[in-house]
Amino acid sequence: MPHRTLPAALALLAAVLVLAAPGARAQTAAAAWPTKPIHFIAPFPPGGPVDTLARIIGQKITEKSGQPVIIENKAGAAGNIGIEQVAKAAPDGTVFLHVPAGNITINATLMKLNYDWERDFTPVTMIATAPNLLVVHPGVPAKNLKELIAYARANPGKLSFGSPGVGSGLHLSGALLNREAGLDITHVAYKGTSPAMNDLIGGQITMMFGALPTLLPQVRSGKLRAIAVTSAKRSALAPEIPTMAESGLPGFDISSWYAIMAPAKTDPAVVQALAAEVKRIVALPDVSQSLDAQGLTAVAMPPAELAAYIRKETAVWAKVIREANIKPE
């Protein structure tokens, strides 16, 4: 009997080893990564949150692995030059894209692109989110969102909101406010946030959405008045400022967010390894403090969840763009 069952037992063992091999190889690949220098492509100039987050993550990866992480700022064409570079890169686990939300969820509808995020990219992780802030010029007689909506309805054509450009996330935030509150506040596009903010302080426009850390000093100096933050929860940077939802627009939840994407067909084990590494990094006390100071909230969203989130947000913004008839410049 033992002699007759031995071949069957050996065959069963071999089958188990074959089935286990892919998992074992995946674990080995994840444990070994990175084995070569890494390139993080930031499709915007140095100094912004995309670049800053790439450098924070890159430094910590180097400290742990010993492999250099090279940050390449490939600015131009609203971020599309750098994005296209990663879309065409070899999926060898050495090239990754650091990108803000709008370049994925908004541009897919607004622009004719040479890439498709579902076809050309693999989502790795969302790193962090940041609420935006709705502010008005102090001359606007509204101290909260309900008063602002009532004033806009009673004074059609009197209010205007600035943004850093047509189709930007801040432009669409204003378009969403118009839709949700039934308003018709005029949009004024600028070439960047700073000129829009300067005109708002000067009274040439009456309101705008902007990054909380950028606008908060102007609020605290009295040059602007805060109305509400756009995220679902209040910000730790300014807990006294209410959210749009609790101020009268339930469901109004917009946050800027920043993610890492890999070229399509990148080894899933490498994708999971980087996602896990980012989760470790953003939990480090010094990194957490740095993010807090910039008004960022660590998220470390895993790959599958990020992919679903992108699909959902893309559908939301596509509807806003169509209904507001927004066209690229």
Q: What is the CATH number of domain 131-229?
A: 3.40.190.10
Rg (CA), the chain: 24
CA dihedral 190, 194, 198, 199 (to 10 degrees): 10
Strand pairing report for 186-189 and 255-263: unpaired
What secondary structure does DSSP assign to 209-238, as a single string?
A: EEEHHHHHHHHHTTSSEEEEESSSS--TT-
Least confident of 53-62, 63-72, 250-259: 250-259
Q: Which of 299, 302, 261, 304 is nearest to 283 (CA)?
A: 299
Asked whether the predicted pLDDT for residue 59 surpasses 60, the reply is: yes
Asked whether the predicted pLDDT for residue 2 surpasses 50, the reply is: no
Tell me how far apart the alpha carbons of residues 59 and 57 are, in angstroms, rounded to a whole number. 6
What's the confidence (pLDDT) of residue 75? 87
Give the pLDDT band (50/70/90) at residue 101. Answer: confident
User: Token digits for 40?
Assistant: 């993080």
Which residues, in sequence order, are CB contacts of 316 under 8 Å at separation 6+?
105
Say yes or no: do domains 30-129+256-323 and 131-229 share a fold: yes
Task: Kindly report, residue by residue over 63-77, the tens digit of the pLDDT.
Answer: 999 999 999 999 888
Q: Which of 223, 239, 251, 244 is nearest to 134 (CA)?
A: 244
Give the pLDDT band (50/70/90) at residue 26. Answer: very low
What's the confidence (pLDDT) of residue 288? 93
Domain limits, the chain: 30-129+256-323, 131-229
What is the residue whose two structure tokens read 């909260």?
144
What's the confidence (pLDDT) of residue 103? 86
Q: Provide the strand spans (E) within the chain.
A: 38-42, 69-73, 95-100, 121-136, 160-163, 186-189, 207-211, 225-229, 255-263, 297-301
Task: Kindly report, residue by residue over 293-318, the tens digit of the pLDDT.
Answer: 888 999 999 999 999 999 999 999 99
Task: Kindly report, residue by residue over 114-164, the tens digit of the pLDDT.
Answer: 899 999 999 999 999 999 999 999 999 999 999 999 999 999 989 999 999
Q: Which of 129, 126, 40 is nearest to 85 (CA)?
A: 40
Asked whether the predicted pLDDT for residue 210 surpasses 80, the reply is: yes
Give the pLDDT band (50/70/90) at residue 1. Answer: very low
What average pLDDT does range 239-258 have in this prediction?
93
Asked whether the predicted pLDDT for residue 54 surpasses 80, the reply is: yes
Task: Kindly report, residue by residue over 280-292, the tens digit of the pLDDT.
Answer: 999 999 999 999 8
DSSP 327: -
User: Token digits for 299?
Assistant: 């998220």
Q: Collapsing DSSP states into helix, strand and coil, what is residue 173?
A: helix
What proportion of the chain, given as a percentage, has pLDDT over 90? Answer: 71
Q: Which of 280, 246, 287 is nearest to 131 (CA)?
A: 246
Give the pLDDT band (50/70/90) at residue 14. Answer: low
Asked whether the predicted pLDDT for residue 175 surpasses 90, the reply is: yes
- Count of alpha carbons within 13 Å of 61, Cβ hemisphere only? 28
What's the confidence (pLDDT) of residue 7? 54
User: Token digits for 170?
Assistant: 């801040």
Asked whether the predicted pLDDT for residue 279 surpasses 90, the reply is: yes
What proportion of the chain, given as a percentage, has pLDDT over 70? Answer: 91
Q: What is the CATH number of domain 30-129+256-323?
A: 3.40.190.150
CB-neighbour burial class of residue 69 (10 A; exposed 0-12, middle 13-18, buried 19+): buried
Q: Which of 260, 139, 281, 258 is nearest to 206 (CA)?
A: 139
Angle (deg, nearest 10), helices 2-32 and 268-282? 50
63: amino acid identity, one letter: E
What's the confidence (pLDDT) of residue 320? 92
